[in-house]
Structure 1
Amino acid sequence: MTQQGTSGLRTESIRRSETCAIATVRRVAAMLNLDQDVYGEGDRLPRGWQFILFGADTPRGALRGDGFPGLGVPLPDLGLPRLLLGGRRVQYFGDITIGETLQRESYVEKVSQKETANGPMAVVTIAHNLISEKVGPVLAETQTYLLMSAQTGARKMAEGQAVPPIADAAAVTPDDMLLFQYSALGFNSHRIHWDRAFACDTEGFPDLVVNGGLVTLLLTEHLRVKHGQSFSAFTAKHMSPFFASRPLYLVADAQDNAWMLRAFDDAGRLALEIEAVV
């Protein structure tokens, strides 16, 4: 892989007011099959649920061909139509209060263009800051996206045999309904998550792609609910996509002051790894 060009200059920030509405929080709980009545105005938002504050408001006529909304900031037009989430870094400086209004600052932090064995690729980093009107900055998050050329069929993966349950793993099977609910809560219109014909015929996937943010949420909820742990920061690395209606396996291992969270696909491949600082 050779680097062809890098732009280190951030774009102009886009600022929005976002309210952490109790109604939306309860819908997240409903999606996760949790008791909605334990959340109320003035409570702390569970860490990991901040995705509800990053929904884009890109007009429908300005969406990319794949429907990706840009999460609050438009992506540069580099002639690369395929997009996947590559990673995420999150740092908490405080807690978000349910019911409060925050200021969200979003911008493109960096764009790197590369030439790979499969053709040109760009790595785009989008940064978000959430600022509470009461206590100041509460969260900084960066999301890294991979932009690639169109190669129909290039992402079809061999149909693997389901592996025996991984020791101490929690099995989850994200179905079409869960993908719809997560996409709706984040106002994410990326077609690989809801348009099966587009995902299979245009992108070359074997089925709908499970939102990378959804699998991240499932892992952080596994840490919060099963192990009773909160976190002050985490770094996520996506190695390969997950697909709808196939089981995935969640594993959490304690390591000093951190937890290693891993998600394996139905063929036993490690597809997402998170280091969470507790």
Structure 2
Amino acid sequence: MSKQPHVLVIPYPAQGHVAPLLKLATKIAEHGIKVTFVNTEFIEAKVMASIPEKAEGWSLIKFVSISDGIERDDDRKDFDKTRNTMLRVMPGNLKDLIEKINQSSDCEQITCVIADISVRWALEVAQNLGVSRAAFIPYGPENLALSFHVTKMIEDGILDSNGKRCNDNCYQLSNKASCFSTKIDCVELWHKKLGQLNFKDLVKLSRKEVVKGLPKLDFLKGKVEQNCLVKKVLRIRSNHGKEFENSHFDNFCDM
């Protein structure tokens, strides 16, 4: 009898990262694959509190948690301190968890680790333990492409060493980039096609001819649809830790 695959999934501890990976984990579990979903203890409590009693697919997933090393009274809004603490503590905790699972039973052994690209240290832990691994990217391809150019943008003086813009300018990453074609020179249409890009920057792209295929646009002819804006905020913006305690998170997972 062949051993059942066992996938361990670990997201970066933030709503925009947990929700997509949770949805992926559910789809994997629906195919009969054992899934263990790893959160930090802080996020785990919020996820558990938000799960409806009859959440479809979530009952197929085993939820476990590990410490992120951040004390209850610490300021979680201090990004640098939080990140450094996680990098110091979480790799060892994840390693201990995987070893504990693998030693419990031959049928329980982790066969693959799927980790958010923002916790790439988890991929290194899996590699060191001889476990197959895969990176998951929760954001769009345009952001991924941008991340590949960060080093060059620092070298060219576009960004400083802290990742902040040196000048308030508009830049073209590649002269081969083209937008999807359209026969309608409509600001609102291009606003949607370019991922809800704000109109000020959209018109700047048009005037500077940064993107091939982007027509000349008239700023005064376009306006943001309120419904579009509201949906964008509800699905993407964080609510300072309370996003798991309201219906917006559940609605997002049902999409």
The verdict on a shared fold, with TM-score over 0.5 as the criterion, is: no
Greater helix percent: which structure?
Answer: 2
Greater strand percent: which structure?
Answer: 1
User: TM-score normalised to the size of structure 2?
Assistant: 0.25
